[in-house]
Amino acid sequence: MTTRATITLVRGDITEQYADVLVNAANSSLLGGGGVDGAIHRCGGPEILAACRGLRASRYGKGLATGQAVATTAGRLHAEHVVHTVGPVWSGTEDRSALLASCYRESLRVASALGARTVAFPAISTGIYGWPLDDGARIAVRTVREAVLPPVTEVRFVLLGEEAYAHFEEALTA
């Protein structure tokens, strides 16, 4: 049986969103970076970094593997949890799309286990990690449609910039 959830698109900054879970396009160190990661730590405050350091010290001594996801507090953000996931770096020679799909699937699995109803995603890997927006959007929409689990009823893509928004809109209507 397929799960019913609404997929919505929003233009803007993910740190301004209200949702049960905000997904962070993290890097494997879990210790912060640029793009979404930098914004989430900057706006969420030091509690998120402290929780990430705790995860490094306990379960993820070698860092979080690409395609995996893990939750922390959301600090001062308007959310219950941040789910950190590590997207693959784009490769022109190797097909890493299963890893990108895994980011969306694993984040939704973690969000569902936390009892989240609303989950906001950025366009994972399409910034510093260089994934083409058209393909990144198609993988994101397809995987969310396949993998969303109760009690999640809304998945929101939060897109910085018109180009990203247009690609997600196209993927959604295809």
Which residues of the chain form contacts with ligand ADP (CB under 6 A)? 13-15, 25, 34-37, 39, 87, 122-129, 158, 160-161, 164
Q: Least distance in Å: CB of 77 to ligand ADP?
A: 11
What minimum distance in Å lies between the beta carbon of 139 and ligand ADP? 13
Give the chain's radius of gyration (CA, Å): 15
Residue 1 beta carbon to ligand ADP: minimum distance, rounded to whole angstroms: 32
CB of 89 to ligand ADP, least distance (A): 8
DSSP 174: -
d(Cα 61, Cα 38) in Å, to the nearest integer? 21
SS (H, E, C) 66-131: CCCEEEEECCCCCCCEEEEEECCCCCCCCCCHHHHHHHHHHHHHHHHHCCCCEEEECCCCCCCCCC
Q: Alpha carbon 66 to chain centroid distance?
A: 12
Say whether 37 is catalytic: yes
37, 95, 134, 135: the catalytic one is: 37
CA–CA dist 66, 70 (Å, integer): 11
Which are the catalytic amino acids? 37
